[in-house]
Amino acid sequence: MTVNLQVSRVSKEFVDRRAKSTVRALDEINLEVQKGEVICILGPSGCGKSTLLNIIAGFLPPSGGEVRVDGRPVIEPGPDRGFVFQEFALFPWRTVLENIEFGPVLKGMEKTDRHTHARELIQRIHLTGFEDKYPFELSGGMKQRVGIARALANDPEVLLMDEPFGALDAQTRRVMQEELLKLLGETQKTVLFVTHAIDEAIVLADRVLIMTARPGQVKSLLGVDLPRPRERTSPEFNELYRTMDDLIRVEVEKASEVQDSDSAVPGEGA
Amino acid sequence: MNRRMATRAVSIGGLVILWFVVTHYKLVNPLFLPPPREVWEGAVDLIQAGELREHIAASLWRMFMGFVVGSFTGVVIGILMGQFRFFHAAVGPLVEIIRPIPGLAWIPVALIWFGIEDASKVFIISMGVFLAVVTNTFVGVRSLDPVLVRAARSLGANRRDVFFRVVLPGTLPHIFTGFRLGVQVSFALLVAAELVGSTSGLGFLIQDARNYFRGDLVILGMAVIGALGFSITRLVEIAERWFLRWHSTSREGAFY
Ligand SMILES: Nc1ncnc2c1ncn2[C@@H]1O[C@H](COP(=O)(O)OP(=O)(O)OP(=O)(O)O)[C@@H](O)[C@H]1O
Ligand SMILES: [Mg+2]
């Protein structure tokens, strides 16, 4: 097995110039991900999950540490790291086909190759017949399928997904999870998947990373050694669920304390 | 659609009939409102003399040039203001100082600077169009969802790609809002400028006819301006609907 993604001692501080304060979002995160591995990231709100993904994507520079993909340090966004956004972020002026072709066009892929490639992806996400629809004509689930296909069209090394199913209803979510597993089974992508849903993490992940309250650190990294497809009703599933739930609950409580102390104004109170 | 056309025909036809009735039974002084037949004959004369075509051409040419100059500079400066804080800090205040000056107030100075030929009208119109377009473009750039830029970057877009493939199309709905406003403004300004100082154009036609007590030609000039304004607004709307066919609200926004 080869290490595909390496996060070494990554820290992030946000400086608020006006308030003259800094927020420590991440504190020395270390993580090594093997090729083809699916890592789900869980943690309380505000612990820095999105920040971590944004740094890996190259959207944000880290305050310390570095990220390497296939040994190359990350300095800016690039097509080797596909990103799937919670809010879909499809280009509204491009059709389904044109959205998926965005990366290949930039790569200079020839038109016929590009079309074949995109149509194949469209078929795999079950949107045949919707090639020429605009995003506003699609449901949330369809939009995110396009979001995933658009990222996969570049054949990236790593797929970064920030709560990709967070805006979808529970039914659609389940379907999308299954379809994602199928897609990933076919492509063997390395995936970092942020979620708030523990069951989603257990269904999808090879390993689950649980983060501490802010500043985010690696609290624990748990392997999910359940056979696939995973049964949500199995005792092993539920045991793992409880274990993770306990770990996260502690951090969520800590996070709410942090927030209370943040908002407390000195000198005020009874 | 057909029903809409029929309704339109009825309402315009109704107005003409009313006009006919009012003048036929001498309900108003013909000096104030000449009968349709007179206007029609005046129009035929003017068309046969080739004068109407010349006035229309002169007005359209000024509007077109003013629109091109004003919207081009408006889009360019609006995008620069939206993209670069420095540029916004430098140019923003200038725009804000120019904005409250009514377009009409530019007419005297334009006549002094550019004379009574085309250049002064083009200047005034481009000023009005510029103000309408620059603000909307700026707002459009600023309200572009930054997540789209991230999406593009992670798909391999460089800054140039981001500009042409994200910022520009993403700002287009706002740019079109500016264009629509610009068309309205440019009509008002064109006619006003031609009324004040000109030797051709529809505004001049109206003014000239008034001097010779040719009420028929005054009405004719006004009707032509109305028809042109209507047609050009429609053209812009059609262009907008085509360019923004991906924009859900451009359909919802149209009332049928
Ligand atoms: N651009 C920014 N400027 C200042 N502070 C920021 C910025 N982005 C994030 N933060 C802060 O960093 C911390 C981590 O934010 P982040 O969005 O990574 O959390 P998260 O784990 O993704 O939360 P959620 O689960 O709610 O999405 C938060 O306290 C947030 O307020
Ligand atoms: Mg987040």
- What does DSSP assign to residue A216? B
> What does each C-alpha distance from A47 to A217, A249, A254 come to in angstroms?
8, 13, 10
- What pLDDT is stored for residue B256 in this prediction? 34
Q: Between chains, do A92 and B155 touch, taking CB under 8 Å as contact?
A: no
Residue appearing with tokens 């991900």: A33
Q: Would an 8 Å CB–CB cutoff place A108 in contact with chain B?
A: no
Range B34-243 has CATH code 1.10.3720.10: yes
Q: Are A25 and A12 in contact (CB under 8 A)?
A: yes
Mutation to test the A interface, candidates B85, B149, B150, B155, most A Cβ within 10 Å: B155
CA B169 to chain A, closest CA, distance in angstroms equals 7
Dist CA A159 CA B103 (whole Å): 54
Q: Residues of A with CB below 8 A from B154's CB?
A: 57-59, 77-79, 81-83, 151, 160
> What does each C-alpha distance from B165 to A24, A150, B171, B248 come to in angstroms?
35, 15, 11, 19
List, in sequence order, every beta strand (DSSP E) within A43-154. 64-69, 72-73, 81-84
Ligand closest to Cα of A52 equals 1
Within 215-244 of B, beta carbons closer than 8 Å to A belong to none
Phi, psi at residue B159, to the nearest 5°? Answer: -60, -40
How would DSSP label each residue in B19-74?
A: HHHHHHTT-S-TTTS--HHHHHHHHHHHHHTTHHHHHHHHHHHHHHHHHHHHHHHH
- In 3D space, the residue among B63, B47, B46, B30 whose CA is nearest the CA of residue B187 turns out to be B63
The distance in angstroms from the start CA to the end CA of chain B is: 8
Mutation to test the A interface, candidates B147, B149, B154, most A Cβ within 10 Å: B154
**What are the tens digits of pLDDT across the range B78-127?**
999 999 999 999 999 999 999 999 888 888 899 899 988 889 999 999 99
**3-class DSSP state for residue A48?**
coil
B146 Cα to the center of ligand 2, angstroms: 15
Two tokens, residue A151: 């990222």
Q: Are A190 and A167 in contact (CB under 8 A)?
A: no
Within 68-97 of B, beta carbons closer than 8 Å to A belong to none
CA B147 to chain A, closest CA, distance in angstroms equals 6
A262 Cα to the center of ligand 1, angstroms: 14
Q: Which residue type is seen at B3? A: R
Q: Residues of B with CB below 8 A from A103's CB?
A: 155-156
- In 3D space, the residue among A6, A11, A72, A73 whose CA is nearest the CA of residue A33 turns out to be A6
- What pLDDT is stored for residue B24 in this prediction? 86
- What pLDDT is stored for residue A57 in this prediction? 96
Q: Are B253 and B244 in contact (CB under 8 A)?
A: no
Rg (CA), chain A: 20
What residue spans define the domains of chain A?
1-71+191-270
- What pLDDT is stored for residue A127 in this prediction? 93
What residue spans define the domains of chain B?
1-33, 34-243
- What pLDDT is stored for residue A268 in this prediction? 40
Dist CA B83 CA B243 (whole Å): 23
β-sheet bridge partners, residue A161: A84, A193
Nearest chain B residue to A134, by CA: B246
A143 Cα to the center of ligand 1, angstroms: 25
Q: Whose CA is nearest to atom 14 of ligand 1?
A: A48
**Whether the CB of A49 sits within 6 Å of ligand 1:** yes
A234 Cα to the center of ligand 2, angstroms: 30
Ligand 1 atom nearest to A60, measured from its CA: 1
- What pLDDT is stored for residue A259 in this prediction? 63
Which regions of chain B are under pLDDT 70? 1, 249-256
Q: Residues of A with CB below 8 A from B148's CB?
A: 89, 91
- What pLDDT is stored for residue B132 in this prediction? 93
Ligand closest to Cα of A162 equals 2
pLDDT tens, chain A, 270 aa long = 577 899 999 999 999 888 888 899 999 999 999 999 999 999 999 999 999 999 999 999 999 999 999 999 999 999 999 999 999 999 999 999 999 999 999 999 999 999 999 999 999 999 999 999 999 999 999 999 999 999 999 999 999 999 999 999 999 999 999 999 999 888 889 999 999 999 999 999 999 999 999 899 999 999 999 998 898 999 999 999 999 999 999 998 888 876 665 554 444 433
Task: Choose which residue among A23, A41, A86 to substitute to test ligand 1 binding: the one with the highest number of ligand atoms within 8 A of its C-beta.
Answer: A23
Of B156, B161, B246, the CB nearest to A93: B246
**Number of cross-chain residue pairs from A and B with Cβ atoms under 8 Å apart:** 73
**3-class DSSP state for residue B157?**
coil
- What pLDDT is stored for residue A146 in this prediction? 97
Residue appearing with tokens 């081009």: B72
Dist CA B220 CA A6 (whole Å): 77
Dist CA A69 CA A32 (whole Å): 10
CA B150 to chain A, closest CA, distance in angstroms equals 7
- What pLDDT is stored for residue B22 in this prediction? 86
Phi, psi at residue A234, to the nearest 5°? Answer: -70, 150
Range A1-71+191-270 has CATH code 3.40.50.300: yes
Q: Would an 8 Å CB–CB cutoff place A254 in contact with chain B?
A: no
Q: Are B125 and B61 in contact (CB under 8 A)?
A: no
Dist CA B221 CA B143 (whole Å): 42
Within 164-193 of B, beta carbons closer than 8 Å to A belong to 165-166, 169-170, 172
- In 3D space, the residue among B129, B226, B107 whose CA is nearest the CA of residue B185 turns out to be B129
Q: Between chains, do A57 and B172 touch, taking CB under 8 Å as contact?
A: no
Q: Between chains, do B151 and A91 touch, taking CB under 8 Å as contact?
A: yes
How would DSSP label each residue in A110-128?
A: -HHHHHHHHHHHHHHTT-T
Those residues whose C-beta lies under 8 Å from the C-beta of residue B236, and which sit 6 or more positions away, are B176, B179, B180, B183
